[in-house]
Amino acid sequence: MNKKMKNKITTKQLVSICAGLLVGQSPVYADVVVDTELLLLVDVSGSVDSNEYGLMMGGYADAFRNLEISDSIGQGANGAIAVSLMFWSASSQQSVGVEWMKINDESSANSFADAIDSTVRPFQSLTAIGSALTVGTQAFGLETGGEVSNGFSSITQMIDISGDGLDNDTPPASDRAQNVRDARDASIAAGVDMINGLPIGNAGGALEQYYIDNVIASSIDQEAFTQKVDTFSDVAKSLEVKLSRELKAGAEVSVAVSAVPEPSGVTLLGIGSLLFCLRRKRSS
């Protein structure tokens, strides 16, 4: 576990503790704790025709019905993950398809797959990868600078973004690739730990390299990666491989973090005393 991850853990713990002590209450942990929060960003731009869309969404659902995926979820310290699916197309077109759900066994994985089957395509327009990353980053809630909690808390927040083409709509118009890199870097800076890519097809011969150069990134020990999909019929197979790698990465981080000791009673007492004094000074 790298130094940045340790610092992130410490910050999260202290913010929760100090917030409670500042108002004279014990800290309350309302969010459901999971090993990883995984956001699936799904490209529904105009280059994805109706038949391809059906194959793609069927592949997403089938991947979560795979027993190996549900078994992989149990590898982490908490034995659970939280997953949401968001559709994206043009710069102002992002829509949640499946709200955040806890997955901790075969039954809950199948429920998520059923929810995917029930989605309706919301867009079919241009391709704005950078805009999708920007909006997707906020979906994790308070952990990545959002205004409200998403109901879950974890050490690792991951974005898994699919796409079959290059960005042509993230503003400004001068350099779309640079816009994507800027959005990627801002996402990592906000607290997203890993962005992985699922490039579908080859978009003129360089789609996977485009994702490697402009889209994927990681701030933890595990490297970000792309999982190439040859055709839309291959989405399920490729996504299963990708999810297995992502779940393993998140599980390894959560297991490592579980070995980090909680702040001692003496430390908490010291923080509490300091904040109590600050409150008294403020009220006097």
The answer to whether residue 41 scores a pLDDT higher than 80 is yes
Structure tokens of 166?
Answer: 């290059």
Tokens for 174, please give them. Answer: 């001068």
Question: At residue 257, does pLDDT exceed 50?
Answer: yes
168-210 pLDDT per residue, tens: 999 999 999 999 999 999 999 999 999 999 999 987 679 999 9
pLDDT-derived band at 255 (thresholds 50, 70, 90) equals: confident
Structural domain total, the chain: 1
pLDDT surpasses 80 at 16: no
Domain CATH for 202? 3.40.50.410
Beta strands in 104-247, from DSSP E residues, in sequence order: 152-153, 156-163, 194-199, 217-218
Would you say residue 24 has pLDDT above 80? no
What are the beta bridge partners of residue 88?
Answer: 43, 94
Are 111 and 49 contacting, i.e. CB atoms less than 8 angstroms apart?
no
Q: Does some domain include residue 1? A: no
Does residue 39 lie within any of the structural domains?
Answer: yes
Residue 281 confidence class, pLDDT cut points 50, 70, 90:
very low
pLDDT of residue 203: 74
More confident residue, 85 or 75: 85
Domain membership of residue 124 (yes or no) is yes
Name the more confident of 89 and 174: 89
CB 254, CB 219: distance < 8 Å? no
8 falls within a domain? no
Instruction: Tell me which residue of 149, 188, 153 sits closest to 82, measured CA to CA.
Output: 153
pLDDT digits (tens, 9 = 90+) for 206-232: 999 999 999 999 999 889 999 999 999
- Contacts of 201 by beta carbon, 8 Å cutoff, 6+ apart: 164, 207, 229, 230, 231, 232
What pLDDT was estimated at residue 70? 85
* Average pLDDT across the chain, whole number: 86
pLDDT of residue 262: 54
Q: What is the pLDDT of residues 92-144, one digit of tens each?
A: 999 999 999 999 999 999 999 999 999 999 999 999 999 999 999 999 999 99
Beta bridge partners of 229: 200
23 located within any domain: no
Q: How confident is the model at residue 15 (pLDDT cuts 50, 70, 90)?
A: very low
What integer is the mean pLDDT of 7-33? 52
Q: Is 45's pLDDT higher than 70?
A: yes
Does 257 map to a domain? Answer: yes
Per-residue confidence (pLDDT) for residue 259, from 0 to 100: 62
- Whole-number pLDDT of residue 274: 53
Looking at the domain assignment, is residue 234 inside a domain? yes
Q: Tell me, what's the pLDDT at 26?
A: 44
Residue 7 pLDDT greater than 80, yes or no: no
In a domain, residue 80? The reply is yes
Nearest to 232 by CA among 88, 41, 47, 87: 47
Query: For position 132, what pLDDT does the model report?
Result: 98
Domain with 160, as residue range(s), is 34-271
Whether residue 23 is predicted with pLDDT greater than 90 in this model: the reply is no
pLDDT given at position 282: 46
Q: How far apart are CA 156 and CA 103, in angstroms?
A: 15
Is the whole-model pTM more than 0.75?
Answer: yes
What is the token pair recorded at 239?
A: 């996504």
User: 218 burial class (0-12, 13-18, 19+ CB within 10 angstroms)?
Assistant: middle
| pLDDT for the residue 267 | 52
